[in-house]
Amino acid sequence: MRAVYRILAMSIATGVVVQACAIAYALFDILHKTDDGQVFTKDSDNAGIAVHMVVGEMIVPVLVLALLIVSFFAGIPGGVKWAAITFGVLVLQIVLAYASYPVPVLGVLHAINAFALAAVASLAMRQARLAGSTQASTPVTA
């Protein structure tokens, strides 16, 4: 279960990187198309925005929920704490995303909080790695 916990935490941090790449692609795609005279509206197709929404609204939340559930069975010291913090940061991330539609300047906090999400997921992954290495180095006595 420790390995599952570690892989889930790593996948969450990787998901944040995918999110950043997707939104960067979206912006540059919009700039490229509008520079060529196209008009971009809410109904325009943009693969970067689509990827950002799918990963952010479906994939990362499922990974975070799975991490929280696995944390109760993994036996990692501090594992539940880091999974719960990751869950809390994700909830804030989603709130900031929806709050940024009417108040776009909040998108800055959404971006900053994404780094926090990657950081806490990385700390959860590190906690699992440390728990595994501590147990591996502990001699077995009969």
Please check whether residue 138 lies inside any domain of the structure: no
Please check whether residue 115 lies inside any domain of the structure: yes
Q: Compare 140 and 91 and report the one with higher pLDDT.
A: 91
CA 4 to chain CA centroid, Å, is 16
Give the tens place of pLDDT for each residue, 79-122: 999 999 999 999 999 999 999 999 999 999 999 999 999 999 99
Please check whether residue 13 lies inside any domain of the structure: yes
Please check whether residue 122 lies inside any domain of the structure: yes
pTM of the model: 0.86
Give the tens place of pLDDT for each residue, 69-88: 999 999 999 999 999 999 99
**Which domain does 34 fall in, by range?**
2-133
Q: How many CB atoms lie within 10 A of CB 102?
A: 7
Please check whether residue 94 lies inside any domain of the structure: yes
Please check whether residue 141 lies inside any domain of the structure: no
Q: How many domains would you assign to the chain?
A: 1
